[in-house]
Chains A and B, each alone.
Chain A
Amino acid sequence: MTKKQKKQLYRIIAAAALLAAGLLIGMGLPASSRTAASWRWAASTALYLAAYIAVGGSVLLKAASNIRRGHIFDENFLMAIATAGAICLGEYREGVAVMLFYQVGALFESVAVGRSRRSIADLMDIRPDHANIMVDGLWIEADPEEVPVGAEILVKPGERVPLDGTVSGGQSSLDVSSLTGEPKPRAVSAGSLVYSGCVNLDGAITVRVDKAYGQSTAARILDLVENAGAKKASMESFITRFARYYTPAVVACAACLAVLPPLLLPGAVFGDWVYRALTFLVISCPCALVISIPLSFFGGLGGASGRGVLVKGGNYLEALARAEIVVFDKTGTLTKGSFDVSEIAPIGLSEPELLELAALAECYSAHPIARSLREAHGKAPDTARVGEVRERAGFGVEAAIDGEAVYVGSKAFIEEKSGVAPGADMPDAAVHLARGNRYLGYIVVADQIKESAGAAIAGLKALGIKKTVMLTGDSGEAGGRVAARLGVDEVYAGLLPADKVDKVEGLMKEKSAKGKLVFVGDGVNDAPALARSDVGVAMGALGSEAAVEAADVVIMDDDPLRLVAAVKGAAGTVAIARQNTAFALGVKGLILLLGALGFAGMWAAVFADVGVAVLAVANAMRALR
């Protein structure tokens, strides 16, 4: 509790004691004489008033100063009028008790808000406090902001990596959960990239700094998180707009309620109706409404970042919750973006033999496919066996191996060079081999599908996403195979980067009026599509500045399942915000009605105000999880 909150607590305790004393004296044994009775009445009234001043003094002062500044529909003013009115009507106990309740509620609210602010701040506590740099042969602690690029820093076990860099010595494992939500530690050794914000677990490592603090991962994430609330959800703006009209409207009703029925209804007692009007004033306080919505969304943003998903604003949580179409860019999101040999189909020789021939022929090529063939082969190619090599970019390689001409490349290349045509049933998207004029078979080199990609597509379906689409620059056959394995509804292949935007625009027309289109890419060359969609999600963004800039939602690691978690979390957050709105409005409406009819007193009204606020805050905290 802060100092201010403690002070408030003492005031509440003092007022409660005074109220209790007043009640004891006022309701004690029947008085023996008339003078004793009036003495007792005076004493208890004095105690009530003392209690009222103790607990409500600050409210009265604030109300007075706000009136001077011209803010009449201020919460303090409303409470002051309502309770002072009750006291004027002779309802001392009620006036004091209502003020007491109001203050207890306000204290609760303040503590709860403070607590949720802190718990979210803790969740995002990735700010490194120091970096160890070498000065005159000694490691000393320095401000990370002052460490230049290229400097060497020491990260001891238990310390947070202060700046992005490359490990230059030592090995260890890093806890990356605060960045990616991934609980498994990541092993690092010389040459590995490390990101600021991770915690070093085992061994001391030295790191050569690659980025200044401002450009480092931790600083960029903090910046993003701190600016996240700037984009408000439409529910948030709705409720603040609503509050602007709600309070004056209820106050106007209260005025009518105090004046009209006593004038119009025969037998109506003026005091009764004034009391009902005062009840209205208590209910008219808008804070319970206004506090619950931003808190829900803030909890949702905090919860998402705990799962390694950074959402840039409440509006994107709302949009994610309404996702109808999810469009994936294939490479880097559903697939790993690195090529691997997935099938070897030799004719007339063994699989390792075919792979070895391919690796030998491609031994000098820098093409990613060539590299993956060599990696699959696993051994350093015996270049002594390789004679002259000629590469035709985009088609294939012709190499003399053990004195014989070997052709490695596309179907057309093989047919042209060796004169034999691979069968029409052979896949187009494969590397074909021939020796002399004999066709030897093919090797399929494909982008590896991520392990969790299928589960992610299924998970999105289970959450009610109507359509999943995959866009790819690959050939139709290769794309189709990936799509079929993952269970994606539609696939568009052979697209140039510019075509992807057109496809996104076309798909935007297919969704319903309220539905949203989510585009998921790796942020490398799909920034236009990220921008054009309703929600642009960049995946595997750890260390990629461009992606963090362009996207609305940033998934820190490259696990597509996190998208499912993000959509689920967004839906949960919106549901909580809706519950809070409905609950706050419902309870207030009900108490207004009951109050007007005379069934609900100020007690109920105070509950409607602060009770609802406290419950809404508690509910909103669920969004964190």
Chain B
Amino acid sequence: MKKVFPMEELDCANCAAKIEAAIGKLEGVESANVNFMTQKLTLVASDDLFDSILEQAKRIVKKIEPDCAILT
């Protein structure tokens, strides 16, 4: 399943890269892409794990950039 999520307060390009790398390493994730300019996360992951992956992704974002959030 592929879904695109808008993000807010994504202010630092390096953090975007870090978030992308960290989400990409989660189990069940086929590809994760954080677009710094459009502030969007494109997540391709297996269907049955998707919800838990999204939860983990949100935690990763909070950890790396406390101001930033994935909007769902």
Contact = CB atoms under 8 A, between A and B. Distances in A.
A69 B63 contact: yes
Contacts of B21: 240, 244
Interface string B1-16: 0001000010111100
Contacts, number: 58
A4 B8 CA distance: 12
Contacts of B63: 69, 71
Nearest to A229: B35
Contacts of A4: 9, 67
B38 A294 contact: no
Contacts of B35: 229-230, 294
A227 B33 CA distance: 10
Most buried by A among B4, B11, B42, B67: B11
B14 A286 contact: yes
A74 to B, nearest CB: 9
B14 A294 contact: no
Contacts of B71: none
B66 A291 contact: no
A287 B12 contact: yes
B49 interface: no
A65 interface: yes
Nearest to A61: B66
A287 B4 CA distance: 25
Contact of B17 (A65, A71, A290): A290
A301 to B, nearest CB: 9
Nearest to B64: A71
A117 interface: yes
A75 interface: yes
B37 A229 contact: yes
Interface string B56-70: 000000011011000
Given A227-B42, A230-B42, A120 B12 contact: no
Nearest to B40: A226
B66 A65 contact: yes
Contacts of A226: 4, 38, 40
A467 interface: no
A3 to B, nearest CB: 11
Nearest to A232: B33
B37 A75 contact: no
Given A75-B14, A230-B42, A295 B37 contact: yes
A75 B42 CA distance: 25
B36 interface: yes
A298 to B, nearest CB: 4
A65 B64 CA distance: 10
Interface string A113-156: 10011001000000000000000000000000000000000000
A230 B5 CA distance: 13
Contacts of A69: 63
A243 B14 contact: yes
B71 to A, nearest CB: 14
Nearest to A239: B17
A110 interface: yes
A405 to B, nearest CB: 65
A62 interface: yes
A290 B66 contact: no
Contact of A75 (B12, B33, B40): B12
Contacts of B42: 227, 230
Given A4-B9, A71-B64, A230-B33, A287 B38 contact: no
Nearest to A301: B37
Nearest to A71: B64
A4 B17 CA distance: 22
A286 B38 CA distance: 21
A291 B21 CA distance: 16
Contacts of A227: 4, 42
Contacts of A244: 17, 21
A243 B11 contact: no
Contacts of A243: 14, 17
Contact of A240 (B12, B17, B38, B40): B17
Contacts of A71: 63-64
Contacts of A298: 37-38
Interface in B14-64: 14, 17, 20-21, 33, 35-40, 42, 63-64
Interface in A205-247: 226-227, 229-230, 232, 240, 243-244
Given A227-B42, A229-B37, A62 B66 contact: yes
A294 B33 CA distance: 13
Contacts of A113: 11
Contact of A291 (B13, B20, B64): B13
Contacts of A75: 12, 14
A112 B68 CA distance: 18
B38 A229 contact: yes
A287 B13 contact: yes
A75 B39 CA distance: 20
A294 B36 contact: yes
B37 A120 contact: yes
Interface string A282-320: 000011001100110010000000000000000000000
Q: Which of B12, B20, B40, B42 has the most CB of A within 10 A?
A: B12
Nearest to B39: A117
A294 B17 CA distance: 11
Interface in A59-91: 62, 65, 69, 71, 75
Nearest to B62: A69
Contacts of B38: 117, 226, 229, 298
Contacts of B12: 75, 287, 291
Nearest to B31: A230
A286 B4 CA distance: 27
Contacts of A230: 33, 35, 42
A226 B40 CA distance: 8
Interface of B: 4, 9, 11-14, 17, 20-21, 33, 35-40, 42, 63-64, 66-67
Given A71-B63, A229-B33, 17 more contacts: A4-B67, A65-B66, A75-B12, A113-B11, A117-B37, A117-B38, A226-B38, A227-B42, A240-B14, A240-B20, A287-B12, A287-B13, A290-B13, A290-B17, A294-B36, A294-B37, A298-B37
5 contacts: A116-B37, A229-B35, A244-B17, A290-B13, A294-B36
Which 3 interchain pairs have the tightest Cβ spacing?
Answer: A229-B35, A291-B13, A298-B37
